Each structure stands twice: as C-alpha cells, then as structure tokens.
Structure 1
C-alpha cells in the first residue's frame, strides 16, 4: 500500500537539502548566467542607442531652425542643399539613396502567415523646411498658410491641406502677418541587434523612423523669404484661393509633391 505520508516527508526533506546545498560547478553556472546577462546588456544598449539617436536628431533639428531664424537674406536651392548636407553630417547619415529590404507579414484566407520581402530605394535621412504665415484675408479673417516649402531626401514639400490637417494644432499662436519656420526631419534607424518582442507582452525593437520637428520665429527680420518669391503675388494668390480649402496656394490640386510656389511653375 502506498504510504503517502512517507513520500511527502521524503520530498520535503529532499527539497530542504537542495535549498541548503551550496555546492555547484562554476562552469555550468557561467554557461547558464552569461548568455542571459549578455542578452540583457545588449537589449539595454539598443534601447539606449535609439533614444540617443533620437536626441541627436532633435538637436540637429534645433540647430537648423536656429540657423534659419537668423537669416536676413533670401534663401535658395543651394542653401537648402547645404543645410541637408549639414543635417546628414550632424546625424552621421548619408544624403544618397540606399537600397533597403522591407519585410511584411501577410496572412492568407486560411490564416497561414508568410513573410514577403521587397527591395526599395530610400534615404537614411530626410528633411523638410516650411515657412508658415498667418495671413489676413480680405474679409478680415486669419488663416495659416504655407508661404514656401522645400524638401530633401524622401520627403515632399508641404501643402496647405497637409498643414491644416496635421500641424494646425501644434503651431504656436501668431499675430496677423507673423511667420514661423517649421523644420522636420525623418531618419531611418536600424538597430545593431534586433530585439524580438513577446506577443501581448513586451514589444520588440526593429527598424523604425525617428521623426523630429520644431518651430522657430525669425529673429532679426519679420519674414524668411525665398529667392524669386513675390510677396505681393503670394498674398493675392491666397486671397483669390481662399474659397478653395482643398487646393494649394499656387492654385493646383491637393498634391503634396507639388512645390508650393504661387508665382512659378518650375524651379528657375
């Protein structure tokens, strides 16, 4: 007959001896603990690196905004090109497009998941500089409008519809006629080691876009002008198109890839 009491007592004594036993093999303990410590250290370093790179991008953004706010001369394409090169230098990235492989998980109708890969040409760092003006219309109302916008890398010039839908709530209050410089950057960051997340628990960490933006007022003048941009034509175009909320200030359709210059159709 099975003696349950004796078995229970024997198990308790055995567990007690195991808990008090201090003997062991250092090699076995190191083989178990060292990979765990290395994994935790690597994960902490990766998380620290992404926050560090985000801070680097934000500081570079502030530097560009401060530089633009001190300009009193008209800006041009060469100025923006050199600013883009400076951004790449500050963030330790490049200005030329690179090949990038994107993996996407697709689930079919049977619930079976598969990974599809696609190779694209993209930029490590992108930049967009936009001057936003609080325009006083003929009827006495005010509205924020894109005075001019320039983009480099994978970004496109900002349109009025994009401004009103994504940035109107973020832009600080301005008086009629005031301008603010909006600087945006987007950096593609790839971790040295990928951190695999736990489903419904801890998130992983892989490739991501690090975006920054900042607003800066002109310091030494009341406006930041673009070379060849006629302020009078600009205001007239805004007043004439004030009844169309979906169009750009140059009278074109809502297309972010269209340059926001009301007085010219192409770059001169």
Structure 2
C-alpha cells in the first residue's frame, strides 16, 4: 500500500472545517440584528414623522376654516387690525409663530357685452403674503366658486412652516391652504383700507373700539361660546 500523501490529510481537515463553519449558525441572530435594526428604527421614525406631519396639516386646514367662517359672519366694516387679529388667531391655533395669512374679497362681474371676469374688491396680507392685485387673481381663480353677477366671495389664504422632530430626509414643509366662503349675513364684508398700517383700533358698529390684542381675545371668546 502506498503511503498517504503528506498534504492529503491537511486538505481533508480543512475541507471538514469549512463544512462545519458553513453549517454553524451560532451568532447569526446578532449579525441579523445589527443589519436590520437600523432600518427598523428609521422606518419607525419615518412613520412617526409622517403621522405628526399629517396632524399638523390637519390642524392648519381646520384653523383656516375656523378663520374663514368667522370672517364670513362679519357685518361691521373690518380693517387691517382685524385681519392682523385673525393672523394672531391662526398663530394661536397652530402654536406656531412662523405663519402668513391673506384675506381677500373677490367679485364676479358680467359686463354689458356679456364678458365674465373676476374683480378684486379688497385684499390684506400679513407675514410674507402681500395684498393681492387684479393681476394676481389668476393664482386663485381655480378655487373660486360659481357665482352670479355682482356676488362676492371671501378668500382666506394661510401658510405655516412645519419642521420635523426627526431627520428622516423630509426637511421643513410649508402647509398652505386656500378656503373660499360667501358672506353669511350680508352681501359683502366691507373693508376700510384707510386704517391699514396706522395702528388704529377696530371700530364696531356700535361705535366701540378695540385694539388688536383685545380683538384676539374677543374672537376666541366668540368661537368658544
């Protein structure tokens, strides 16, 4: 019998060790955890962030509807101080200082030649919103409802910036809403642009005056009663 080759036995042992190593599953759970856990944590934070963003968007939208409804009920002449009070209310409802609000009144007109068009009656903006002009009406024309000749509608545009708590690649998000409401108790809500920026008080129909700080309190009180 021929003697065994001196290198044949070590090769068999090496092959056996490789097979044992391939079948050995000890420690695989730790390796899988290390590989999967970061992904699970990221998915969990992303779901939480998405849920919070959805809630913030809902709050912003409902705050706009609240303001639009309150504005549509006005029978007294309003001014810039009043709209500033609405902006304070929107800021309060969203618990956010970085907001912008613009209130406008738009009228539908049919001229003698039968041409139909929208005409801006008044507009006032706060934050980074400037007052609308007739040349800007095309930016909101798509949300304006069907109206008859001479009818007016109130348009409230709001914007707030929401920042996520966790860095999941979402970044800051601007929530913008546009709500149109027809005046409820009169054909129009009149606006006095002569007091814009003068710091004067809002004058009620009974002759009483109210500052913008007191106006916010009165708005909240009327909404909760």
If the length of structure 2 is used for normalisation, what is the TM-score? 0.71
Question: Residues 67 and 86 of structure 2 are in contact (CA less than 8 Å); yes or no, is this contact kept in structure 1?
Answer: yes
Task: Find the aligned partners of 2:20 and 2:119 in 1 and give their Cα distance.
Answer: 79
RMSD (Å) for aligned C-alpha atoms: 2.9
As a proportion of its length, which structure holds more helix? 2
Flag the structure with larger Rg.
2
- Give the CA deviation at 1:210: 1.2
Question: Residues 75 and 189 of structure 2 are in contact (CA less than 8 Å); yes or no, is this contact kept in structure 1?
Answer: yes
How many correspondences in the alignment? 184
- Corresponding residue of 1:131: 105
Task: Spell out the pairing of 1:55-70 with structure 2 (5 A cutoff).
Answer: 55-70=58-73
Unaligned runs of 5+ in 2: 1-15, 199-225
**Alignment partner of 1:76 out of 79, 86, 90:** 79
Task: Find the aligned partners of 2:65 and 2:125 in 1 and give their Cα distance.
Answer: 17
Task: Find the aligned partners of 1:182 and 1:211 in 2 and give their Cα distance.
Answer: 13
Task: Spell out the pairing of 1:23-34 with structure 2 (5 A cutoff).
Answer: 23-24=26-27, 30-34=33-37
- Corresponding residue of 2:185: 220
Task: Find the aligned partners of 1:170 and 1:206 in 2 and give their Cα distance.
Answer: 28
- The answer to whether the aligner puts 1:151 opposite 2:125 as a matched pair is yes
**Alignment partner of 2:146 out of 152, 162, 173:** 173
Question: Residues 42 and 168 of structure 2 are in contact (CA less than 8 Å); yes or no, is this contact kept in structure 1?
Answer: no
Q: Which has the higher contact order (CA 8 A, sep 6+)?
A: 2
Unaligned runs of 5+ in 1: 1-9, 95-123, 197-204, 229-263
SS at match of 1:183: strand
- Give the CA deviation at 1:151: 0.4
Question: Residues 100 and 129 of structure 2 are in contact (CA less than 8 Å); yes or no, is this contact kept in structure 1?
Answer: yes
